[in-house]
Chain A
Amino acid sequence: MSDTLAIDVKGLTKSFGETRVVDDFDMQVPKGSIYGFLGPNGSGKTTTIRMMCGLLKPDSGGGTALGHDIIEESRTIKSRVGYMTQRFSLYGDLTVRENLTFMARLHALRNPKLIVADTLEEYDLGPRAHQLADTLSGGWKQRLALAAASMHNPGLLLLDEPTAGVDPKARRDFWDRIRGLARKGVTVLVSTHYMDEAVQCDYIAFIAYGRKLIDAPSADIPERVGLVTWRIEGKGLQPIYDELLNAEGVDQIARFGSALHVSGRDADTLERTVCAYRGREGISVDLAKTGLEEAFIWLMAGSQDNFT
């Protein structure tokens, strides 16, 4: 089993002081997949990732990363895993090349010069090799960080909100690279808040307040959540929005441009409610596919009820 899994952890639990940050967390990540790790801020994603790469010891629970025990063999894991921290954490007062050379030497790579040269080229960092890391824009910083994290050819990449605060073009570029790495057989666990990124993942785990709420192939998630969604489109939607807010069968309304996505668990009641608006002038009402975004807003709303 574990030779097909890049990550196989069970019952991970970690508390800081009185707060239980991660609670009985299980996860199986198949090799070569892109696994999305979603959840509200402070839900324990970073702590979980740190436990998986041997930076933190779990209070209880355990498992393996790339077949190595995350507690006993943390050093082996560190040499085979690439970890990209949430905050840019390379040296701002070193140049791009100096940062990469430093990381190559920490990993005790043979012929660091050659590897750095290759990495600079692969990540198009060549023209910026002599620039201080602090003077790079957000997108370039992230690219440098990814280069540094993947320079030692890790079998598993743990990326903690790698694209937070980066412009859309840089994000797209970043994901192209992640997919490229995955094609080469690298397993990628990536936490994110962006739905367009979540959609690109093969699997998604959703964590809130230290507990995993759902874990499935990303295509299955909307169905798993069990929501039916209707799309109401047209002009003058604000009054309809206000009316629907407390209407029968409506669990959640989200705006998407000039449309409302109205979701509910009770399909019949919801249909009756929304179809009342059919036939109004300039308004169309259609059954829509429940998207990841609706699903996650729903999960998040539910988890807050449970935990706060």
Chain B
Amino acid sequence: MNSFSRILALIGKEFIQMLRDRLTFGMMVGIPVMQLLLFGYAINTDPRHLPTLVEMGDNGPASRAILQAMETSDYFDLIGITHSRAETDTALQTGGALFVVTIPPGFERDLLRGDRPQILLDTDASDPVAAGAGTGAFPTLVQEALAPLLGEMTPPVGTVIHRRYNPAGRTALNIVPGLLGVILTMTMAMMTSMALTREAERGTLETLLATPTRPYEVMVGKITPYVFVGFIQVVIMLAGARFLFGVPFLGSAPAFLVCVSLFILVNLSLGFLFSTVARTQMQAMQMTFFVFLPSILLSGFMFPFAGMPAWAQTLGQALPTTHFIRAVRAIMLKGASLGDIVPQIWPLAVIFTVIATVAMLRYRRTLD
């Protein structure tokens, strides 16, 4: 009986502590809710409405029937027309389109003649999951679109599919560069926030500030070591990607360097921001998780970005990991140069500026 009452006392005490630590409590409630919403509503492993461009070599009824069928299939969203191969390449490389359909000149004529013309579908296969369903459905879709027109069950038409960047459709090619973003997010933000919180938690921050050391000196001195740690992680991951998984590195190294540096800075400033809110290292770690989870789920790392509903995409755009992953995939798999990743660089720069500013403002306040 004594044992029972002691256990009850422990249980009671644990609940009191749980409720006192509001951040932990928020975490216990927030994480399941967040997971539920993200997995339930945002994530879609069978993505539809993927951005598609058309190169129209022919504008006859057959061509239009095919495009019509693509639209109604829900897999493709026809967003525009390209006029050249160069334009097609850029669109795929920058992620402007996931598919480009090319209808050759004289398609209608060749089709009616029974010459078995071929329709080309270029897909961005760097993410095999995103492009997979649409690619798989495409040949049947074309057949079914033309069948009523020609009155034949198997119209004389061929489909050629170009799986760009990842012809074998290996998921590792897509996952490994993405992992770089996820791991940097996790470790950089967590390590800095914990390292800074530790100073406050153990009282050593007071010792530092009682010397002529300036607050910004404390910050720079605390954060710089983790920039190095970040680069070491990058080197390890790149070597692993190359030698274990055979992931190519096709693009520009300077572009990669710019991208990685900026992303490391973003995450360090994020960790810095957390440290101005968290009072203990435990809290700092929990706050990291609040960013880490969506960074895995909404960034396009694990599930195709294009498959998410609009609100989830908007949320995803606010995550630095989203832009970083896109840029790194473009550089490594698609051979992008610095100019190609500008659309990813500037959001990162904006996010960095916002986070760093808020963190600095908060930092000054916490000292007093």
A residues bordering B, Cβ < 8 Å? Answer: 53, 55-57, 75, 78-79, 81, 83, 85, 87-92, 103, 106-108, 148
Contact = CB atoms under 8 A, between A and B. Distances in A.
Interface in B174-212: 202-204, 206-212
Interface residues of B, number: 13
A78 B215 CA distance: 13
Contact of B202 (A53, A55, A92): A92
A107 B213 CA distance: 8
Contacts of A57: 368
Given A78-B211, A79-B212, A106-B212, A56 B368 contact: yes
Given A56-B368, A57-B368, A78 B212 contact: yes
24 contacts: A53-B210, A55-B209, A55-B210, A57-B368, A75-B212, A75-B214, A78-B211, A78-B212, A79-B211, A79-B212, A85-B203, A87-B203, A89-B203, A89-B204, A89-B206, A89-B207, A90-B207, A91-B204, A103-B207, A106-B208, A106-B212, A106-B213, A107-B212, A108-B212
Contacts of B207: 85, 89-90, 103, 148
9 closest Cβ pairs, A-B complex? A89-B203, A83-B210, A106-B211, A79-B212, A89-B207, A78-B212, A87-B203, A89-B204, A75-B212
A37 B209 CA distance: 23
B341 to A, nearest CB: 41
Nearest to B207: A89
A106 B207 CA distance: 10
Contacts of A91: 204
Given A78-B211, A106-B213, A85 B368 contact: no
A103 B211 contact: yes
B204 A107 contact: no
A119 B203 CA distance: 23
Contacts of B204: 89-91
A70 to B, nearest CB: 13
Given A53-B210, A83-B210, 8 more contacts: A55-B209, A75-B212, A78-B211, A89-B206, A89-B207, A90-B207, A106-B213, A107-B212
Main secondary structure of the interface of A (DSSP, over half): loop
A90 B207 CA distance: 7
A55 B212 contact: no
Contacts, number: 40
Nearest to A103: B211
A29 to B, nearest CB: 18
A101 B266 CA distance: 32
Given A56-B368, A57-B368, A78 B210 contact: yes
B279 to A, nearest CB: 15
A89 B202 contact: yes
A107 B211 contact: yes
A148 B207 CA distance: 10
A106 to B, nearest CB: 4
Nearest to B214: A75
Interface in B107-155: none
A122 to B, nearest CB: 20
Contacts of B208: 106
A241 B261 CA distance: 76
B366 to A, nearest CB: 12
B312 to A, nearest CB: 40
Interface in B141-174: none
A207 B191 CA distance: 42
Nearest to A79: B212
Interface string B199-236: 00011101111111110000000000000000000000
Nearest to B210: A83
B128 to A, nearest CB: 46
A287 to B, nearest CB: 47
A260 B208 CA distance: 48
A75 B207 CA distance: 14
A91 to B, nearest CB: 6
A85 B203 CA distance: 8
Contacts of A103: 207, 211
Nearest to B205: A89
Contacts of A90: 204, 207
Given A56-B368, A57-B368, A85 B206 contact: yes
A271 B230 CA distance: 78
A106 B210 CA distance: 10
Interface string B96-115: 00000000000000000000
Contacts of A83: 210
Contacts of B206: 55, 85, 89
A49 to B, nearest CB: 10
Nearest to A106: B211
B330 to A, nearest CB: 42
A88 B206 CA distance: 11
A85 B207 CA distance: 7
